[in-house]
């Protein structure tokens, strides 16, 4: 009976300690990776951009178009999967 009583507290303590250790470990590994990339001469994706600088409005418009294209691609992929699952489950209907 005592094992059941201590399960909740142990689980909560383990989650907190594990989260803290994971956060510290992730931060250390990320900083090492960043330092390694800079030391090895790899270009930073954001800093090494060869795209011309746009005004704010042009940049927003270009981003909007890019996002609309990606949303359209995702919608097509969702429709395709829905169509395939409908055929598998026997709920196939032509739209």
Residues 19 and 35 in one domain: yes
Q: Using 50, 70 and 90 to split pLDDT, how confident is the model at 58? A: confident
Range of the domain at 82: 52-95
Q: Tokens 């011309």 — which residue?
A: 52
- What digits encode the pLDDT tens for the residues 5-52? 678 888 889 999 999 999 998 888 888 877 766 666 555 555 555 555
* pLDDT value of residue 1: 46
Residues 13 and 33 in one domain: yes
Q: Tokens 């094992």 — which residue?
A: 3
Residues 76 and 92 in one domain: yes
How far is residue 13's CA from residue 5's CA, in Å, rounded to a whole number? 14
Residues 66 and 90 in one domain: yes
Residues 27 and 1 in one domain: yes
Residues 40 and 70 in one domain: no
pTM: 0.36
Residues 83 and 59 in one domain: yes
Residues 4 and 21 in one domain: yes
Distances (CA, A) of 19 to 10, 28, 32: 14, 14, 20
87 pLDDT above the threshold of 90: no
Residues 3 and 32 in one domain: yes
- Residue 41 tokens, joined: 């001469």
Query: Greatest CA separation found in the chain?
Result: 69
DSSP class of residue 52 equals P
Residues 77 and 94 in one domain: yes
Structural domains in the chain (count): 2
């Amino acid at each position: 009976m005592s094992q059941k009583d201590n399960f909740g507290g142990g689980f909560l303590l383990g989650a907190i300690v594990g989260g803290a250790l994971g956060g510290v470990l992730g931060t250390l590994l990320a900083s090492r990776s960043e330092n390694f990339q800079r030391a090895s001469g790899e270009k930073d994706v954001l800093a090494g951009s060869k795209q011309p600088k746009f005004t704010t409005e042009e940049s927003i418009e270009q981003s909007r178009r890019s996002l609309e294209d990606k949303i359209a691609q995702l919608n097509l992929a969702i429709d395709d999967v829905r169509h395939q699952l409908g055929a598998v489950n026997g709920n196939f209907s032509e739209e």
